[in-house]
Amino acid sequence: MRFVKFAVIGVANTAISFAAFNLVAVGLHMPLLWANVVAWLAGFVNSFVWNRSWTFADRRIDPAGAVFLRFAVANVLALALSTLIVAALQAAAGVSQGAQASALELNAIEAVAICGALCVNYVVSSRWVFRA
């Protein structure tokens, strides 16, 4: 059940990130790179709050600051893993930087990367970030 909660929060983070991105980029007319940073931070903060208070609520032993630092490290590792998966699948599929790939191909690559990062991030979160 804990993994399902973790995944539900991930879906919510995605929605929050898209909303924040659109608010900053479209609503406030800020540069896309800044919008992306704001979107990522909004999802990151949401993820920390909900995982600490809902998914791993029974493991609130360590101070929030220490947990937050471990959470940040885990999320950077998940991002690195996701990036490696995208790069490996891109190379395996023969999709080069300038080549036209189908949306289905690109989304399949991203879906595999998300699933891989989700699983690893969950294990790291459950065993280290929010350790019992």
What is the pLDDT averaged over residues 29-48? 87
Name the band, by pLDDT with cuts 50, 70 and 90, for residue 37.
Answer: confident
What is the pLDDT averaged over residues 108-129? 91
**Tell me, what's the pLDDT at 49?**
96
**Tell me, what's the pLDDT at 29?**
86
Name the band, by pLDDT with cuts 50, 70 and 90, for residue 101.
Answer: low
Tokens 């909303």 locate to 19
Q: What residue ranges do the domains of the chain occupy?
A: 1-55, 61-132
More confident residue, 60 or 12: 12
Q: Residues 35, 21: contact at Cβ < 8 Å?
A: yes
Q: Residues 88, 112: contact at Cβ < 8 Å?
A: no
User: pTM of the prediction?
Assistant: 0.79
What is the pLDDT averaged over residues 22-39? 85
More confident residue, 101 or 41: 41
- Inform me whether the pLDDT recorded for 10 exceeds 60: yes
Question: What burial class does residue 95 get, using C-beta atoms within 10 Å of its C-beta: 0-12 exposed, 13-18 middle, 19+ buried?
Answer: middle
- Inform me whether the pLDDT recorded for 98 exceeds 70: no
What is the pLDDT averaged over residues 59-66? 90
CA distance 54 to 125: 13
What is the pLDDT averaged over residues 98-120? 79
**Tell me, what's the pLDDT at 110?**
81
